């Protein structure tokens, strides 16, 4: 049933005038098209009573037309409301993305400072992610994917480089300050351009190459003045950049064929589960299983504190990556890249404040230059070269 508001303009001819005693009969009549749009062309007049004998039939026609006009007026309000809710939801996701990332870096660093076994820590994080993924599939929060053996084989290389990337990141976090690790990881665009040119033949524009200069220069300046600098932490962060960008290149190269149920969230969940099984034998044959109450107690550590912080870090690790994929599904890659740049700034600042990391003015300048270069890169990357006219 249509609302009374939809018919109100038709009752006394007040579509143009607000004065009941002076309807503007000279106003140009409006016509509602089949699509619901309003045109100012001669035709059916809204709000004007007809003097013809078939008044009753035309009155019904006017009511239908007014209903369409009411819908046309009400639609923008609904769209505005939907747009506002979408903006609020997107803003909430960005807030959660940053918050989970901050807590992951803080708790992860606290554990690695007293428990220097990055392979064990990385395996725990994949284990937590695996349990979370299975829980969401079982409960129906995420639709269980239909995937073939051929698809799993295609995803396996992505899982391997994903495992290596996260392992190298944890190795770096265990050796140097959180802020320095994330400053080095600002070099990701450099390796993205390099690997894409080598393996995909995607040559960058001159402006993209220019934007890489402040990134490289800023990281170099920050490295020269970093108080916690050591080569193991530096090269681990660099290796993380290479592996993560190799994952992106591989995903384009392999072109994993997705079914409808295999969206980005499901793909990430599958990669997490596979990474857990890929790293398990490596953990056994290298460090061994160290994160047990018996070992922690024998090392003189607070068992509950280490296990609790490891669990929280694992949950935040999986959560921030899940939220990142949700955001990527709602915005363009460029917007996501800018958001990632802002996230890195937030993580660096909060980690410096929380851990009271000593930072020199030159070190801060180098970090700022590198992050500004990343932002510039994200903006220039979307510019397409104009085709040459003959």
pLDDT in tens, 291-325: 999 999 999 999 999 999 999 999 999 999 889 88
pLDDT of residue 380 exceeding 80: yes
Kindly state the helix (H) or strand (E) to which residue 32 belongs, with its residue range: strand 31-32
Q: Helix 264-285 and helix 118-139: axis angle, to 10°? A: 140
Q: Under 8 Å CB-to-CB from 129, ≥6 apart: which residues?
A: 269, 272, 273, 276, 314, 317, 318
pLDDT of residue 239: 94
350 confidence band (pLDDT: 50, 70, 90): very high
Q: Which is higher by pLDDT, 85 or 5?
A: 85
Q: Could you tell me the two tokens for 338?
A: 């800018």
Percent of the chain with pLDDT over 70: 74
168 confidence band (pLDDT: 50, 70, 90): very high
Mean pLDDT of the chain: 78
Burial class of 346 by CB neighbour count within 10 A (0 to 12, 13 to 18, 19+) = middle
Among the ranges given (34-48, 253-267, 368-382), the one the predictor scored with the smallest mean pLDDT: 34-48
Enter the DSSP assignment of 197.
Answer: I
Average pLDDT over residues 24-32: 40
pLDDT of residue 30: 39
The residue among 273, 21, 289 whose CA lies nearest residue 158 is 273
329 confidence band (pLDDT: 50, 70, 90): confident
Q: Under 8 Å CB-to-CB from 140, ≥6 apart: which residues?
A: none
pLDDT of residue 32 exceeding 80: no
Q: Do strands 31-32 and 38-39 pair parallel, antiparallel, or not at all (unpaired)?
A: antiparallel
pLDDT of residue 385: 57
Average pLDDT over residues 246-251: 77
Burial class of 31 by CB neighbour count within 10 A (0 to 12, 13 to 18, 19+) = middle
pLDDT of residue 10: 41
How many H-runs (helices) and E-runs (strands) does the chain carry?
13, 2
pLDDT of residue 44 exceeding 70: no
Enter the DSSP assignment of 38.
Answer: E
The answer to whether 337 and 371 have CB atoms below 8 angstroms apart is no
d(CA 143, CA 258): 14
The answer to whether 272 and 126 have CB atoms below 8 angstroms apart is yes
19 confidence band (pLDDT: 50, 70, 90): very low
The length of the chain is 390
d(CA 5, CA 378): 48
pTM of the model: 0.72
d(CA 38, CA 2): 19
The residue among 326, 157, 154 whose CA lies nearest residue 257 is 154
pLDDT in tens, 61-85: 444 444 444 443 333 444 445 688 8
pLDDT of residue 182: 92
Among the ranges given (20-34, 201-215, 337-351), the one the predictor scored with the smallest mean pLDDT: 20-34
The residue among 261, 255, 234, 247 whose CA lies nearest residue 175 is 234
pLDDT of residue 72: 37
Average pLDDT over residues 324-343: 82
pLDDT of residue 21: 44
d(CA 262, CA 259): 5
pLDDT of residue 376 exceeding 80: yes
pLDDT of residue 386 exceeding 60: no
pLDDT of residue 309: 95
Enter the DSSP assignment of 199.
Answer: I
Determine how many CB atoms are found less than 10 A away from the CB of residue 168: 22
The residue among 351, 367, 313, 364 whose CA lies nearest residue 170 is 313
254 confidence band (pLDDT: 50, 70, 90): low
């Amino acid at each position: 049933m249509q609302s009374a508001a939809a018919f109100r303009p038709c009752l006394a001819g007040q579509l143009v005038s607000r004065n009941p005693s002076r309807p503007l009969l000279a106003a140009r009549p409006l016509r509602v098209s089949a699509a619901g749009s309003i045109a100012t062309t001669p035709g059916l007049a809204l709000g004007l009573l007809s003097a013809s004998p078939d008044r009753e039939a035309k009155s019904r026609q006017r009511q239908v037309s007014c209903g369409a006009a009411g819908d046309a007026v009400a639609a923008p309000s609904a769209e505005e409301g939907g747009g506002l809710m979408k903006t609020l939801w997107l803003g909430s996701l960005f807030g959660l993305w940053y918050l989970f990332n901050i807590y992951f870096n803080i708790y992860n660093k606290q554990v690695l400072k007293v428990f220097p076994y990055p392979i064990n820590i990385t395996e725990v994080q994949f284990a937590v992610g695996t349990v979370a993924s299975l829980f969401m599939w079982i409960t129906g929060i995420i639709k269980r994917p239909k995937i073939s053996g051929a698809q799993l084989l295609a995803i396996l290389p992505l899982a391997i480089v994903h495992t290596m990337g996260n392992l190298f990141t944890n190795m770096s976090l265990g050796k140097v300050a959180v802020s320095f690790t994330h400053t080095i990881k600002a070099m990701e665009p450099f390796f993205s351009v390099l690997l894409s040119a080598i393996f995909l033949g995607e040559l960058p524009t001159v402006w993209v190459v220019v934007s890489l200069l402040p990134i490289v220069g800023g990281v170099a300046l920050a490295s020269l003045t970093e108080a916690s600098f050591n080569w193991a932490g530096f090269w681990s962060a660099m290796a993380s950049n290479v592996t993560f960008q190799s994952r992106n290149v591989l995903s384009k190269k392999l072109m994993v064929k997705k079914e409808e149920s295999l969206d980005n969230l499901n793909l990430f969940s599958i990669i997490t589960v596979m990474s857990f099984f890929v790293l398990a034998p490596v953990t056994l044959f290298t460090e061994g299983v160290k994160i047990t109450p018996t070992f922690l107690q024998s090392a003189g550590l607070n068992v509950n504190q280490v296990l609790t912080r490891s669990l929280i870090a694992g949950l935040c690790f999986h959560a921030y990556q899940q939220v990142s994929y949700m955001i990527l599904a709602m915005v363009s890659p460029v917007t996501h890249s800018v958001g990632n740049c802002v996230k890195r700034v937030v993580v660096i600042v909060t980690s410096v404040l929380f851990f009271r990391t000593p930072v020199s003015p030159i070190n801060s300048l180098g970090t700022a230059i590198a992050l500004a270069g990343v932002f510039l890169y994200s903006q220039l990357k979307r510019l397409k070269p104009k085709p040459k006219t003959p």
